[in-house]
Structure 1
Amino acid sequence: MAKIENGRQSADSRSIRTISSSHMDDESSLGSDSEMNGFTNDRHTDKYGFIGGAQQYSEESAQDVPPEVLRQREVKWLDMLSNWDKWMVKRHKKVRLRCQKGIPPSLRGRAWLYLSGGKVKREQNRGKFEELDSQAGDPKELDVIEKDLHRQFPFHEMFVSRGGHGQKDLFRVLKAYTLYRPEEGYCQAQAPIAAVLLMHMPAEDAFWGLVQICEKYLPGYYSAGLEAIQLDGEILYALTRRVSPITYRHLEKHKIEPILYMTEWFMCAFSRTLPWASVLRVWDMFLCDGVKIIFRVGLVLLKCMLGTREKLNACQGQYETMELLRTIEPRYMQEGFLVREVLDVPISERDVESEHHVQLKRWRKNRGELHWKSPPRMHGARAIMASEPPSRQDLRQNPTIIVESPLPAPQLQKREKKGKEEKKSIKKESMKKTPPVTEIPNPYNLPGDPQLPLRDPHEKNWNNPCFILDSSHSLTHSLTLRPSACQPSPLSLYQALAQLSHIPATGCTMANVTAAQLWATIVYFSYDFYSACF
């Protein structure tokens, strides 16, 4: 710890790796004994499953969604989850918008599994979790995991009992990951990530969700040396300069390294920092849009806590600044406020990647190559889905979930019938052909001359004017018009158009003539008729 506080030097890998758990040990161990003896059967549990005051700001900061709105959102999410691939490919913006509004609690676990790509990963590796679960594992890793179990949300009903089903499942998930990625092993910051997933899904799904977060969303975060988290700290530091220059200057003035305040934020995805209502909303957006959401949340907290002169006057040194960042004001973590601010931060995945290249180049210049070669980071659900090889496409086409809709059966059938009728009508309109046009009789025919013949263009009989179209229109015959009528005969126009379009003149009607051909012919005839008469 001392090495990091004195400058931007590379610290011992083990000391850096446990930096994220220093706050965890101090805070969560306070309730480790009370979880066995301090509660009775009539203990109060909030709607998130927390007992007592462990999440004192959760209900205060939570936004109450009306039941009817919640039911409507559930129906929409059921439709999306039943046609997941189609929605992700064609209507991803709508999926993102619904994630920003908040995933319904009843479907959050399933939605997270699909957003992260954990469902596809599970289908690709059927039986893998059971195989890993049946193995013994490394005793050293298991000993560390065992010591960390009681520290993970000790006031949540799933993990309140030592040796209960929640702690057992957490142990299984973490042990399976150490066997799945033995070169990476176990990192203490993985435990809260796995615990959050277990609150919403079974152990096997939580395992694959953890795999996806570690491999796709936050690659290299939990490896020895934690080079990836240090690199992202430099990225956050640079982005702070763009979002809040006053905050950046203050941190630079007091030489406060990003690793000191952002490690727990990023490695635990704010699960140990924010009220639970805000944690869930941040995770909804994080699993949809990727790590840029984590950067945005960090930037919002830095800006709110250090972005004004009044606040900076209260922290004139490094210690005061660190204490301020450790005890963030509840109003800045409130669900509605935080989500609005996060969505307003002008930082995209392109900005993150651009700054990543800059900081990586600087890292290599000052420290050399990275020791841990992590896979490329995927920015959200769509990028993860697009990265699937074509040979695996069939796995994604299976129905995702089968859940009964909360709508009554008659209302659901009526809704489905209406949707089918709308699709049929749209398809019918798109395939609709132009109706046949009835033949228009010639209003200018004379009794003795029902149809004016086409004449030879070389015939020089000017008693009746002869108008010739140029050869570019492939019409080599002229059309005879009667000056006394002052208009061309429509049937003669049909015959001319028949020559123009290579349509037989016999039986030529308006139905054989396109609008463009008719208009072109009228323009030419109008010009030639005017020239001949005058």
Structure 2
Amino acid sequence: CCWSAYSASGCIGSGRQKGFIFICVGAQDVPPEVLRQREVKWLDMLSNWDKWMVKRHKKVRLRCQKGIPPSLRGRAWLYLSGGKVKREQNRGKFEELDSQAGDPKELDVIEKDLHRQFPFHEMFVSRGGHGQQDLFRVLKAYTLYRPEEGYCQAQAPIAAVLLMHMPAEDAFWGLVQICEKYLPGYYSAGLEAIQLDGEILYALTRRVSPLVYRHLEKHKMEPILYMTEWFMCAFSRTLPWASVLRVWDMFLCDGVKIIFRVGLVLLKCMLGTREKLKACQGQYETMELLRAIEPRYMQEGFLVREVLEVPVSERDVEREHHVQLKRWRKNRGELHCKSPPRMHGARAIMASEPPSRQDLRQNPTIIVESPLPPPQPTPQLKKGEKSKEEKSKKKGSMKKAPTVMEIPNPYPLAGDPQRDPQLPLRDPQLPLRDPQLPLRDPQLPLRDPVPTLRNSTVQQPLVNDTPLPNTPEDSPPPHQPTLNDQSLLTVSPLQKSTQSLSSIEADQDTYL
């Protein structure tokens, strides 16, 4: 996928989960043979996505934890999030939304936020460039798709990360799936959903790291103060780029529990020891520490290993969600935003909306029309029957007989067509006759024993009183000079030899 040229991925380190150990290395350090094998495996999964998700989902999860190959990350994200099925079921919807004008107030806020998203990335570095144009189109289309929700500033980095890996239409449907399935209600007015998840994170911290929980409770630090940007932007503005990609690989596969795990790991690493808590004597110092997380804790190998070891599952998240929802209703009343239920990962999304085989079919990204005509369908042949091409090849392979050159007759008869005098009588490379054959039959006499009429100037040989073959009876015979003809005195030696040879051949023809 050419859209993955803007991204990088990989991790370095090791991790273990449920009894097995695997090594996570950066994409730049993976041998080409191993990377090619991973690409082949992912291509096989994408070609049979429904079967893999139903029967071998654990294998898909493991391969997402190892890291999706950079060349297939955009396509894999679209399949994991369900954006591929959503796009196929709403053909032409994005073009329809893109052609509409949009709300001027929403568009004004979007335009102000375009240059703030990854300003040093080559896609968004130039104002009015193709990256900012596509980002504007995606965000505007979402405000038209969900006008009751509108635009939220935290949606811009989500859409920007998607645009680095896929075209604008695919990024739009990926954004729709994240906002509706993975993080429902996060970007609505009032931010009630993100506050509720903050309470869930606070409760999970009590179970995972009691020391950190007591410190936060002592200084009365509300989760909304430090986790809003983490969760709403899916850590895209917090972690290094390589770690962001690895977290998104697992997040789109397993759902929001990955976001909770990453938050718990950062809290534990920055506030999990007594020595570190001594430097945080108040709320301000604690906030400054959480805003400047040490790079070693955000390194992808270390982070992936720690995330996989955090004992938090979907069931734990849902249990705390129900507990905190009851407490919310008791203290604050009903939620104003009625968001749809949250889906925990790709398998739950596919189960909620079962796709058809046509929806999962892979289509080429770039279609080039060939100038050649389409191939004709080959007819089905019976058993033992050969096609015309095979017959023609067989005929062509046979040795062709040499062509026979036609030699003109140097002594034409009266009825033969006239020859061009400028053309040679014969091919000079060919011999006059076969040297193997004798000049004449030695048993035949030199002269015809039948008497001829010598008194006339025209001699006509006779055989049983019949004219020569090929000679018309009514036409006069060709002129043959006699011994007394004066023309012989002026002829050249070559002509004499030719005439003598002519007489000999005529005698032989007469006897034959």
Assess same fold via TM > 0.5. yes
Correspondent of 2:356 among 393, 397, 407: 393
Within 5 Å, give how 1:215-230 maps onto structure 2: 215-230=180-195
Matched, 1:75 2:40: yes
1:68, distance to aligned residue in structure 2 (A): 1.5
1:170/1:198 contact within 8 Å kept: yes
Matched, 1:175 2:137: no
* Structure 2 match to 1:371: 336
Tell me the TM-score normalized by structure 2: 0.66
* Structure 2 match to 1:380: 345
Distance 1:79 1:61 in 2: 23
1:364, distance to aligned residue in structure 2 (A): 0.1
1:47, distance to aligned residue in structure 2 (A): 7.9
Q: Structure 2 unaligned runs (5+)?
A: 9-24, 367-512
* Structure 1 match to 2:200: 235
1:399, distance to aligned residue in structure 2 (A): 2.4
Distance 2:131 2:365 in 1: 25
* Structure 2 match to 1:517: none
1:400, distance to aligned residue in structure 2 (A): 2.7
Residue 313 to residue 63, structure 1, CA distance change in 2 (3 Å) = farther
Q: CA RMSD in A?
A: 1.9
Output the amino acid matched with 2:261: R
Distance 1:110 1:48 in 2: 14
Distance 2:356 2:212 in 1: 47
Distance 2:297 2:37 in 1: 29
Residue 291 to residue 63, structure 1, CA distance change in 2 (3 Å) = farther
1:261, distance to aligned residue in structure 2 (A): 0.3
Distance 1:395 1:238 in 2: 43
Output the amino acid matched with 1:247: V
Q: Secondary structure at the match of 2:150?
A: coil
Distance 1:137 1:119 in 2: 25
Matched, 1:281 2:246: yes
* Structure 2 match to 1:408: none
Matched, 1:163 2:128: yes
* Structure 1 match to 2:290: 325
1:66, distance to aligned residue in structure 2 (A): 2.0
Q: Secondary structure at the match of 1:310?
A: helix
Residue 47 to residue 129, structure 1, CA distance change in 2 (3 Å) = closer
1:67, distance to aligned residue in structure 2 (A): 1.7
Distance 1:202 1:237 in 2: 38
Matched, 1:125 2:87: no
Superposed CA deviations along residues 272-330 of structure 1, whole A, max 9, x for unmatched, are: 00000000000000000000000000000000000000110111100000000000000
Output the amino acid matched with 1:400: Q
1:235/1:359 contact within 8 Å kept: yes
Output the amino acid matched with 2:260: F
* Structure 2 match to 1:194: 159
Residue 110 to residue 223, structure 1, CA distance change in 2 (3 Å) = same
Distance 1:290 1:49 in 2: 22
Superposed CA deviations along residues 448-500 of structure 1, whole A, max 9, x for unmatched, are: xxxxxxxxxxxxxxxxxxxxxxxxxxxxxxxxxxxxxxxxxxxxxxxxxxxxx
Correspondent of 2:214 among 223, 226, 249: 249
Output the amino acid matched with 1:315: C
Residue 173 to residue 157, structure 1, CA distance change in 2 (3 Å) = same
2:139/2:159 contact within 8 Å kept: yes
Correspondent of 1:139 among 89, 104, 113: 104
Matched, 1:96 2:61: yes
2:6/2:164 contact within 8 Å kept: no
* Structure 1 match to 2:229: 264
Distance 2:129 2:365 in 1: 29
* Structure 2 match to 1:357: 322
Over the matched positions of the two proteins, sequence identity in percent amounts to 92
* Matched pairs, number: 347
1:170, distance to aligned residue in structure 2 (A): 0.1
1:233/1:259 contact within 8 Å kept: yes
Output the amino acid matched with 1:393: S
Q: Secondary structure at the match of 2:235?
A: coil
1:62/1:278 contact within 8 Å kept: no
Q: Secondary structure at the match of 1:393?
A: coil
Output the amino acid matched with 1:212: Q
* Structure 1 match to 2:81: 116
* Structure 2 match to 1:342: 307
* Structure 2 match to 1:305: 270
Tell me the TM-score normalized by structure 1: 0.63
1:64, distance to aligned residue in structure 2 (A): 2.4
Distance 2:6 2:160 in 1: 13
Residue 48 to residue 125, structure 1, CA distance change in 2 (3 Å) = closer
Superposed CA deviations along residues 248-290 of structure 1, whole A, max 9, x for unmatched, are: 0000000011000000000000000000000000000000000
Distance 1:213 1:161 in 2: 27
* Structure 1 match to 2:51: 86
1:221/1:229 contact within 8 Å kept: yes
1:369, distance to aligned residue in structure 2 (A): 0.2
1:395, distance to aligned residue in structure 2 (A): 3.9
Superposed CA deviations along residues 508-528 of structure 1, whole A, max 9, x for unmatched, are: xxxxxxxxxxxxxxxxxxxxx
Output the amino acid matched with 1:371: H
1:281/1:335 contact within 8 Å kept: yes
Distance 1:123 1:197 in 2: 18
Output the amino acid matched with 1:181: R
* Structure 2 match to 1:529: none
